Chain A
Amino acid sequence: MTLLNGRRVLLVEDESLVAMLAEDMLMDLGCEVVLAMRLDKALALARTGTFDAAVLDVNLGDTRSYPVADVLFERSLPFLFATGYGAKGLDAAYQGVPVLQKPYQQGPMEHLLHRLLTCEDLARKGAAPCLRPGCACKAPPQAMPPGLSGFQADSPA
């Protein structure tokens, strides 16, 4: 898929063997992958790194990846959650974020990333305003819906 070619993707996944699989899938889709397996590293990368999109495993062992999501919201970077529990497993505040059902599969991963990068999904669900320079979708920036107003960078890290 040409749209994904050369895109920089932040992958946050805490299990070594699973991370290898997801990383290979993203690379096979033409993406350049930056892998973080621990919350502190993921947060540092999310704050300062340059990415086109991010794939966040929700459950990072003894913690969750929500603080990373908060930073990505702040920076208006599109991302999706990967979880074995489906959207129901997400905290209520994050229900609008696209969910990739685990185990990872290349087809759904490609499909969701494609939608993320064209912002169709984001514009429809209002999960985040599209402010990315050069984004193909030209969706108008939106105010955060009330349910999402709590996402600020001061969330506990």
Chain B
Amino acid sequence: MPQSRQPLQSSALAAASLATLRRGDQLFETERRLNAVLNNASVSIFLMDDRQHCVYMNRAAEHLTGYTLAEVIARDCPLHDIVHHTYPDGRPFPLEECAIDRAFPQNNHERGEEVFVHADGHFYPVGFTASPIRDDSANIIGTIIEVRDISEEKAAAERQRLLLNELNHRVKNTLATVQSIAAQTFRGQTDPAARAVFDARMAALSTAHNVLVEDNWESASLRSVVTRALAPHLLAEIDVNRFRIDGPDARLHPKVAVTLSMALHELMTNAAKYGALSVPEGRVHVTWSVEPLPDGRQSLDMLWEEQGGPEVAPPTRKGFGSRLIERQLPLEFDGRAQIDYRGAGVVCRLQVPLTALGWMGQDVIEGQPAL
């Protein structure tokens, strides 16, 4: 036996050829290095033979499963029957149904997620990576499986899901509450027509948020924003040719989605009251293109065109809609917007550089470079 307190040897010797390493003390050195690596690794490592029996597991694997290597070897059965024998719902989990077993893999780095059973009986979610071990003739003689406890990731994802549900609920509820407060406050004191305008705007705002909910508040589909904003008229139309909506889909930053929704709502309301949607033969075309900008962002160029409506006269005073579209929208997004009250029909052109997706702190939380 080599002396037990021998120091780790230099890397030059570790890189020596196999022939040299056949000497016992150097084999010992190699094994000691491998053990040092394996037993200090925080990932669990299992070495399986061709019968799916575990022939080696490192210290992290013993800790993860609650079994020692000696116990597992003494059981003389596939590892599956020791750590993976039951589904979380209590049904038995036969080896034939096991994804890790099927991943007696042909390819390196087969990945997946499973739920294991600890020696004490509790279930825990794991992520695994399985790779084949080959003999000198390239026959597969076993599998090496790395396993990681992913309980914390699962719990974090679940917390995130609950928070998003709560956020969705709160936002919708707050909008409904505001609507109710307005109704109670102005009951009998406001022109019912003004109340109807207010309610429609609240509904438009609520709809804009619906589109955001669909993608976890990260972005919204441009096409969805357009069709949802126009839905109050779109859905009520018998004549399918009344609207022409044409343009490529794109992902919108939540702020763009909300303001654009409100802008389209105002255009639609105006068209229904005075423009093309106030007569049966009137038509509305909403068309757009999305072009790359030199700075890497995209730019939305949208055209709202009304045809076949009554003769248009420029409004005598600028209301909420034109203020929102012509003043706020360009200021908010560094874009351009113009409403042209042409006699034949209102034409509105919106040019909006699309804000890069993402939210404050996202790069920190997701470990990505800043946008």
A interface, CB within 8 angstroms of B: 14-17, 19-20, 35-38, 41, 59, 61-64
Contacts and interface: CB of A to CB of B under 8 A. Distances in A.
B129 interface: no
B358 A19 contact: no
Contacts of B259: 16-17
Given A20-B320, A41-B331, A62-B358, 15 more contacts: A14-B255, A14-B332, A16-B259, A16-B262, A16-B328, A16-B329, A16-B332, A17-B262, A17-B328, A19-B331, A19-B332, A20-B323, A61-B355, A63-B360, A64-B360
Interface size class of B (residues with CB under 8 A): 10 to 19
24 contacts: A14-B255, A14-B332, A15-B332, A16-B262, A16-B324, A16-B331, A17-B259, A17-B324, A17-B328, A19-B328, A20-B320, A20-B324, A20-B328, A35-B331, A37-B328, A37-B331, A38-B331, A38-B332, A41-B331, A59-B360, A62-B355, A62-B356, A63-B360, A64-B360
B332 A37 contact: yes
Nearest to A63: B360
B153 interface: no
Contacts of B359: 62
Contacts of A63: 360
Nearest to A14: B332
Interface string B92-130: 000000000000000000000000000000000000000
B249 interface: no
A59 B360 CA distance: 10
Closest 9 CB pairs of A and B: A16-B328, A37-B331, A37-B332, A16-B332, A16-B259, A62-B360, A61-B255, A38-B334, A16-B324
Contacts of A17: 259, 262, 324, 328
Nearest to B320: A20
A64 B360 CA distance: 9
Contacts of A15: 255, 332
Interface string B325-363: 000110110100000000000000000000110111000
A80 B281 CA distance: 53
B294 to A, nearest CB: 17
Contacts of A16: 259, 262, 324, 328-329, 331-332
A14 B256 CA distance: 11
A104 to B, nearest CB: 14
Q: Point out which of A14, A19, A62 has the most chain B C-beta atoms below 10 A from its C-beta.
A: A62
Nearest to A60: B360
Interface in B245-260: 255, 259
A37 B355 CA distance: 13
Nearest to A19: B328
A125 B200 CA distance: 46
A110 B328 CA distance: 24
A63 B259 CA distance: 18
A16 B205 CA distance: 13
Nearest to B330: A37
B191 to A, nearest CB: 20
Contacts of B320: 20
Contacts of B255: 14-15, 61
B314 to A, nearest CB: 21
A87 B247 CA distance: 45
Nearest to B262: A17
A25 B259 CA distance: 21
A16 B329 CA distance: 7
Nearest to B334: A38
Interface string B24-36: 0000000000000
Contacts of B355: 61-62
A51 to B, nearest CB: 17
B126 to A, nearest CB: 36
Contacts of B332: 14-16, 19, 37-38
B324 A61 contact: no
B360 A61 contact: yes
A131 B316 CA distance: 46
Nearest to B357: A62
A59 B356 CA distance: 17
A15 B259 CA distance: 8
A79 to B, nearest CB: 19
B256 to A, nearest CB: 10
